[in-house]
Amino acid sequence: MDDVTNDGASNADHGHGMSAVTGPWLGTSFNRRRMLQYGAGALGAMWLAACSSDASTKSTTAPTSAPTTSAPTTSAPADTTGSTAPADTTGTTAGTAAPDTTTAASAVDTTIAETTTTAAAAIDNDITAILKFGAMRGTSYDPMVVGTQTEYPQLNVIFDTLISTDPVTNEFLPRIATAWEIMDDRIRFTLRDGVTFQDGTPLDADAVKFSIDRTVSDPESNITTRVPMLGSVEVVDPKTVDLVLSQPQPVPLMLQLADRTGMIVSPTAVQAAGGSQNFSLKPVGAGMYKVEGDWLPRESMSVRAWDGYWDKEAALLGGIDFTEVAMAAQLNALRSGEEDMGSYQGADADSIKGQDNLRLTVGYAPLIKGLVMNITIAPFDNPKVRQAIAYAIDRDAAVQALTFGYGRPAYQMFNQESVAYNPDLEGYYKYDVEKAKSLLAEAGFPDGLKFDSIIGSTSAPYVAFGQFLQANLKKAGIDMNLQLVDTSTVISSLYGAGTVASAPIATSGGVADTIIRLSLLNDGGLNAGKIEVPGVRDLLDKAATAKTAEEAKGFYQAISKIQVEGVYGIIPVFNEPAILGYEAYVGGVTRGFADTDISPEMFRGIYITTDKKPLPQA
C-alpha cells in the first residue's frame, strides 16, 4: 500500500497501565494521553513524567491491573479506536521540540512499574496454535534501517522495545525497562531482571547502549536523525542505563524509545552478521516470537514462540505466519480459513459482520487520505488552483463510496483526535463546483486544466481513490491524468526525486509535531517540494516552549489554519477507518487496527482457542 504515515494495535487489556501525573507541563496538571498528541514518534507517544515546579521528588506507580477497555465496535464507528500507523522516510528528522520540563534544578520525577508480567484473565488458548496474518510487506528487519513503512507488525514481535505505549490510553508502559527517572540532563532507566535475547545473550545495560548507539552512529542506519536530543548513552551498572540529553526534550526521546530506536538488538548477532543486510536476514531480538527459517521480502515470514520470553501472558500463540495477500483476495482468504486475521476495506466490513464464524472490530486509523502535491510543480504552484481542487472534491461522497460509511470527511491534515485539529476549519472547503470553476478562472484557467498524478498499480484501494478523484474533479473541468506505476516507486518518486506533481495517497493525521516537521518544513522528508511553509517553524518553536498545554494547542491549531488556507502539501479528503476482521476462534482483540500498525502492543495477548472453539460475539 502507499500509506505514508507518522514516524505510528493491540490488546489493551494486556498492558501495564499507568495513571496521569501532575505537573508535567511546566508545573501544569496534564494528562499523559494528551501529551501523546504533542510529542513525536510512531506508528503512532505520550508524557511519561516531568519535573514539577517545586524541588521535591514525586513518584508515579503503575497500577497492577490492566486499563479498562470498551467493547469492540461492529458498526460504523462514532469515535476513534483506530491504530497508530507508521511512517518515516529515510534520513528524515523525526525528533520534536518538546517543552522544557525542568522548572527547578533539583526537581526529579520518577515512574516505577511494579507489574512485571501482563495481567490477563484465565483463557483457554492453544499455546501451539499458529496465527495466519494476511499481510507481509517488509523488506528490512534491522530496526535501524527503514525498508518500507509496513515492517512494524513483524519488527514488534521479533524485538522488545525499551518502553512501550498503550494504544488505547496512550500511556507509557514498562517493557525492557521497568522504571525511569527524568533528571535535569538525562533519563535513567532500570532494566528488567533476567531478560535474554533469542540467542541467549543477556540483555543488560551494555546491550542497550550498544543497540541505541548503533542506531545513531552506524553508517548503515537511516534513522540517525530521529533522536537529535540524545547526547550519549552511559552505563551506570548492569541494570541501569542513562540516556543523556543534549537538548531539554525528554518527551520526544521517550517516544522514540517505543519505536525503532528502542528496539534492542542482540550485540552477539549483530557482530556475527558483520553488517545490517546480513543481520536483517536473521534478525535476533528479545521479543515474543523469533524468526524461523528464511523470510521473503513483501511475501512471507514465520515467527515462533521461544522458551526464554519474560512475559508468558503476552505471548499466547505458538507463532505467527505473515503472508502477503492481495487486497482483492483477502476476504475470501478469511472466509476460507486461509488467514485468521487481517485488515480490510469498508466494502468487506458488512460481509464479515454478517458471518457467524467471523468477527469485526472497527476504529479510526490516524490516516488522512488526500491528494499529496509538490507545490513547486505547475499547476500546484498556484494557490488558487490548489483551492479550486479542494472545493471540487465531494468528501461525503468519498466516504460513502470508498469506506462504505466507515470513514469520515477530512478538511485538514490532522484527524479529530490530534492536538492540531482545528474545529474552526471543519467544512472549510465544502464541496462547491461553481466556486472551484471561479477560482480556476481567477488563476488563469477559465477552460479548466490538466495535471498528472501517480499511484501504485497494485494498490487497489488507492487506485479506486484516484479514480474517484478523477471523476469528481472532471465536473469542475479538471482533468486528472492518473498514471499507474510500480507501487514500490510511488513514495520515492514523490518525496525523494521530487519529480512527481501529485499522488492520491495517505499521510498521518494523528501525531502533530512530527508530521508538521516532516510535511511543512523545508527539511522534512514528507515535503515533496521542499518548500518551507511561512510561519510554521516559528509556531513550532513557540509550541515547544509553551507554559501550558492549552497554549501549545493554540500554536498547533494556528499551523493547521496556515496549512488549510494555503493548501500546502495535501488536499485532505477523508479519515481512513481501521477495520480488523478475524476468525471467531481468535481472542484477545480489543480494538480495530490496521495491518500497518506501529504499536509494540499489536499482537500482545492475541490467542487462538483450544480446538479453535468460537468465542461469543462481543
Whole-Å CA distances, 239 to 165, 177, 179, 215, 256: 22, 9, 11, 21, 21
Query: Nine-digit cell at 481?
Result: 491524468
Give pLDDT, residue 252. 72
- Which letter does DSSP use for residue 49 in this model? -
Statement to judge: residues 176 and 99 lie in one domain: yes
503 found inside a domain? yes
330 found inside a domain? no
Whole-Å CA distances, 574 to 121, 361, 455, 508: 38, 20, 17, 12
**CATH code, 380:** 3.10.105.10
208 found inside a domain? yes
Statement to judge: residues 235 and 375 lie in one domain: no
Contact 363, 578 (CB under 8 A): yes
Question: What is d(CA 391, CA 393) in angstroms, rounded to the nearest whole number?
Answer: 6
Statement to judge: residues 484 and 414 lie in one domain: yes
Question: What is d(CA 180, CA 343) in angstroms, rounded to the nearest whole number?
Answer: 35
Statement to judge: residues 232 and 166 lie in one domain: yes
Give pLDDT, residue 38. 38
Statement to judge: residues 260 and 279 lie in one domain: yes
200 found inside a domain? yes
Whole-Å CA distances, 603 to 131, 249, 287, 320: 10, 30, 11, 9
How open is the CA angle 562-563-564, to the nearest 5 degrees?
Answer: 95
Statement to judge: residues 572 and 589 lie in one domain: no
Give pLDDT, residue 603. 97
182 found inside a domain? yes
**CATH code, 50:** 3.90.76.10
Q: 288: helix, coil or strand?
A: coil
Q: Which pLDDT tens digit goes with each residue over 200-259? A: 999 999 999 999 999 999 999 999 988 888 999 999 999 999 999 998 778 778 878 999
| Residue ranges in the chain whose pLDDT is less than 70 | 1-121, 168-170, 509-511, 545-549
The C-alpha cell 512530527 sits at: 514
Domain that holds residue 17: 12-69+82-288+585-612
Chain-centroid distance of CA 337 in Å reads 28
- Which letter does DSSP use for residue 340 in this model? S
Angle of helix 460-474 versus helix 395-403 axis, rounded to 10: 150
Q: 174: helix, coil or strand?
A: strand
Statement to judge: residues 530 and 604 lie in one domain: no
Number of domains in the chain: 2
604 found inside a domain? yes
Statement to judge: residues 594 and 489 lie in one domain: no
Chain-centroid distance of CA 302 in Å reads 23
Contact 475, 435 (CB under 8 A): no
Q: 304: helix, coil or strand?
A: strand
Give pLDDT, residue 62. 33
Statement to judge: residues 518 and 411 lie in one domain: yes
State the sign of the Cα–Cα–Cα–Cα dihedral 69, 83, 44, 323. Answer: positive
Residue type, 253: L
Statement to judge: residues 269 and 371 lie in one domain: no
319 found inside a domain? no
Question: What is d(CA 574, CA 412) in angstroms, rounded to the nearest whole number?
Answer: 9
Statement to judge: residues 260 and 393 lie in one domain: no
C-alpha closest to that of 415 among 18, 56, 85, 28: 85
Statement to judge: residues 374 and 280 lie in one domain: no
Q: How high does pLDDT run on average in the chain?
A: 82
2 found inside a domain? no
